[in-house]
Amino acid sequence: MPELPEVETVVRDLRVLLCGRSVVAVNAGRRKLRQPWKNAWIPRVIGRQIDGVRRRGKWIVVELDDQSHLLIHLGMTGQLTVRATSEPREPHTHVVFDLDDGSCQLRFRDVRRFGSVRYFPAEFDIDYCLNKQLGPEPWELEPENWHVGWRQSRRCLKAILLDQTIVAGIGNIYADEALHAARLSPRQTGRATSLAQAERIRLAIVEVLERAIAARGTSISDYIGGSGLRGHFQGQLQVYGRAALPCVRCGSAIVVVRLAGRSTHYCPTCQRTAAKSRPRRNRRALPQHK
């Protein structure tokens, strides 16, 4: 599934290609997406100019000139690109927006159809929809509050990072990479994590995401940017997808386990789970029984 760096790359590509253009036609396929596109939205979108493109978590928000919005999620295999109208449509292209004189199109393609394209008539509606299910962006995490919400949690760190209500945009790849950068085990629980360790995680998240964005994200299977170019952060991955290969830091073999319902890659040496403290044994002499 495209995560924050991939979605941010799509947004940056599309911002250049879409802003100032107008929608002149919309065509939707018959096969339903996870949240179906409604043809009743078409008259509301036609004639509208695109004023902006932004990201919130893993969502893409297209701002129209009447304060309405398109909300797009790429799901697992979604692609959102601008193509010349003369270019043949690829299979599994579900929603197409003709732009300006019709010479180019914004196309939403999704092989597995877990993605969606939705219309929201007002900014308040879309902000409410997103903010009720998403926590802060990684760059907005406040050090003094970051640890508060989960310091008593029995959940493992991998599960905490995947929770979109705690931090928006992190998925399986970057949770693994951030924990490796922070030298913390994905098995470690929130309640066992100190303030200093939590701060290491926060800084690692930002550092890993910024490197991934600079590399246009990770292209492992279907992901491409809004201009059709692939990402190349896969060449910089330290643990994800490297099971049995040597850790780049210490040489130990990377292991993969199942945590929070997801495959989880980590180094058992660099990211050793802290040993549980054992209760002290009573050293007083026991009474002798006769």
Active-site residue set: 2-3, 58, 262
For residues 26 and 98, is the Cβ–Cβ distance under 8 A? yes
Q: Which two structure tokens, joined as six digits, stand for 15?
A: 């911002």
Closest residue by Cα to residue 181 from 159, 193, 163, 199 = 199
Neighbouring residues of 243: CB distance < 8 A, sequence distance ≥ 6:
254, 255, 256, 265
What's the Cα-to-Cα distance from 95 to each of 9, 78, 201, rounded to whole Å? 20, 11, 39
Q: How far is CA 73 from the centre of its chain?
A: 10
For residues 80 and 7, is the Cβ–Cβ distance under 8 A? no
For residues 76 and 9, is the Cβ–Cβ distance under 8 A? no
